[in-house]
């Protein structure tokens, strides 16, 4: 494969091997002794479009299935009608080479390719259990046809449970909720909530549905009853009129991956959902951490003056946020003092969960947590795995029982 470079040059790449790419991560894992305690990654990804033909086998709607297969043939790549994803430059013009070359990686035929690939990066990085999410489907909430979101969500969830989760206990998932259809979301929890490997449900944040709408209440109640956490996974939408004012992907990503979660979190708190569902555990994924102190300060300040607009609240907005859970990546390690204060404000010892986001361009290794100078060993282990094991009620990974005593 030739990668196009600047000045009309090309770079020939003959192979791609995850273990080789991450050899330095393996060295970090060994040097820091990650084998001594469990590490849980609450946000990692695979590329479900690479298995789209298999996923379409699980789709009930024969017309949407036929449309998808037909469009796929016509374009020769991609999921066709199934993905509303627009322009994006996650690979930085090929600078992050694995986007272009990952298809060259060879895997044995004995297990699903996605299982092999996940095991490779998990072993290299030092991760025991990974909660896995799709990639292009992160923008499925923007699909103009609600019925397509529902059909693909159910097909994907069925496929993931049967082809991946059932065969590899180290891989878990919070299943995709087709949130643009409240009733379908409810049925999804009913159908898959007790399935092996399912540890919760996930809403892709880039969408335009208010989380406080009454139609969602029975879904939240069911999740609470089943003790299954609800996650909001960040995303961007360059076609959004406000986001569209930004002409650089750096801006779209930096703000877009926070913006929608800010909106959903604001609605979640000011409408008193934490009081209505006090045992429902809510997790905010892939917005980094710098937004958390901002939201806490901004909403506490306004709430003191405008509590009449949020009468359901019995404590400060920041207090509700400290009951929530946050994933680490992409963690803004630019000012260690600010980061330390951020950890303090969100009660990181119990509420913060390590996430890698691998294989995406801004992934974080466990060393981003383990090397922080202001954390003691107990806090490091809680953030890297202990908090997630408690939140998701996970079994101790094999071989880690003694280490965790």
Residue ranges that bind another protein, judged by CB under 8 A: 3, 5-7, 9, 11, 21, 23-25, 28, 92-98, 361-365, 367-368
> Min. distance of Cβ 380 from another protein in angstroms?
16
> Min. distance of Cβ 367 from another protein in angstroms?
7
Q: How many Cβ atoms are within 10 Å of 16's Cβ, its own excluded?
A: 17
CA-atom Rg of the chain in angstroms: 21
Question: For another protein, which is the closer residue by CB, 27 or 314?
Answer: 27
- The tally of CA atoms less than 13 A away on the side-chain side of residue 227 is 5
Instruction: Give the residue from 267, 175, 178, 281 showing the smallest Cα distance to 214.
Output: 267
> Min. distance of Cβ 125 from another protein in angstroms?
11
Question: For another protein, which is the closer residue by CB, 10 or 390?
Answer: 10
> Min. distance of Cβ 19 from another protein in angstroms?
13
Q: Is residue 330 reached through a cis peptide bond, with omega within 30 degrees of 0 on the bond before it?
A: yes
Question: For another protein, which is the closer residue by CB, 16 or 396?
Answer: 16
> Min. distance of Cβ 171 from another protein in angstroms?
22
Task: Give alpha helix (H) positions in 346-384.
Answer: 348-351, 367-370, 377-381
Which tokens hold the place of 235? 């995303």
Residues 38, 389 contacting (CB under 8 angstroms): yes
Strands 282-285 and 129-133: unpaired
> Min. distance of Cβ 186 from another protein in angstroms?
39
Question: For another protein, which is the closer residue by CB, 95 or 344?
Answer: 95
Q: CA 7, CA 26: separation in Å to the nearest integer? A: 35
Instruction: Give the residue from 366, 396, 405 showing the smallest Cα distance to 383.
Output: 366
> Min. distance of Cβ 24 from another protein in angstroms?
5
Question: For another protein, which is the closer residue by CB, 29 or 296?
Answer: 29
According to DSSP, the residues that pair with 41 across neighbouring strands are: 130
Question: For another protein, which is the closer residue by CB, 191 or 362?
Answer: 362
> Min. distance of Cβ 91 from another protein in angstroms?
9
Residue-wise burial string across 345-368, b where 16 or more C-beta atoms lie within 10 A, e elsewhere: bbebbbbbbbbbbbbbeebbbbbb
> Min. distance of Cβ 93 from another protein in angstroms?
8
Q: Is the dihedral of CA 49, 52, 55, 59 positive or negative?
A: positive
Question: For another protein, which is the closer residue by CB, 108 or 373?
Answer: 373
Q: CA 241, CA 116: separation in Å to the nearest integer? A: 40
Instruction: Give the residue from 201, 226, 223 showing the smallest Cα distance to 273.
Output: 223
Question: For another protein, which is the closer residue by CB, 61 or 123?
Answer: 123
Question: For another protein, which is the closer residue by CB, 261 or 329?
Answer: 329
Q: CA 344, CA 346: separation in Å to the nearest integer? A: 6
């Amino acid at each position: 494969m030739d990668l196009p470079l600047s000045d009309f040059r090309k770079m020939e790449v003959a192979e791609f091997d995850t273990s080789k790419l991450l050899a330095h991560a393996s060295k970090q894992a060994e040097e820091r002794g990650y084998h001594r305690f469990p590490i849980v990654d609450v946000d990692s990804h695979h590329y479900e479009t690479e298995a789209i033909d298999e996923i379409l086998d699980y789709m009930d709607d024969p017309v949407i299935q036929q449309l998808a297969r037909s469009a796929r043939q016509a374009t020769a790549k991609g999921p066709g009608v199934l993905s509303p994803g627009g322009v994006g430059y996650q690979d930085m013009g090929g600078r992050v080479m694995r986007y272009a070359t990952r298809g060259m990686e060879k895997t044995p035929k004995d297990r699903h390719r996605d299982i092999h690939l996940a095991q490779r990066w998990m072993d290299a990085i030092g991760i025991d259990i990974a909660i896995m999410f799709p990639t292009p489907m992160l923008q499925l909430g923007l699909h103009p046809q609600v019925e397509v979101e529902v059909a693909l969500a159910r097909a994907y969830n069925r496929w993931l449970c049967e082809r991946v989760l059932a065969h590899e206990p180290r891989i878990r998932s919070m299943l995709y909720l087709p949130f643009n259809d409240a009733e379908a979301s409810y049925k999804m929890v009913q159908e898959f909530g007790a399935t092996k490997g399912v540890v919760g449900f996930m809403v892709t944040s880039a969408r335009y549905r208010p989380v406080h709408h009454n139609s969602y209440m029975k879904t939240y109640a069911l999740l609470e009853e089943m003790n299954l956490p609800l996650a909001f996974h960040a995303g961007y939408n360059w076609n959004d009129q406000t986001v569209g004012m930004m002409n650089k992907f750096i801006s779209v990503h930096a703000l877009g991956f926070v913006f929608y979660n800010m909106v959903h979190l604001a609605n979640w708190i000011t409408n008193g959902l934490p009081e209505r569902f006090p045992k429902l555990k809510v997790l905010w994924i892939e917005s980094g951490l710098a937004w958390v102190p901002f939201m806490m300060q901004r909403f506490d300040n306004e709430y003191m003056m405008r509590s009449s607009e949020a009468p359901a609240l019995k404590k400060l907005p920041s207090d509700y946020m400290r009951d929530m859970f946050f994933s680490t990546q992409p963690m803004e390690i630019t000012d260690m003092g600010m980061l330390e204060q951020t950890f303090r404000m969100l009660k990181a010892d119990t509420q913060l969960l390590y996430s890698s986001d691998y294989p995406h361009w801004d992934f974080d290794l466990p060393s981003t947590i383990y090397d922080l100078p202001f954390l003691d060993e107990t806090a490091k282990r809680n953030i890297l795995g202990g908090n997630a094991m408690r939140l998701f009620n996970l079994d101790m990974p094999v071989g880690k029982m003694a280490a965790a005593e």
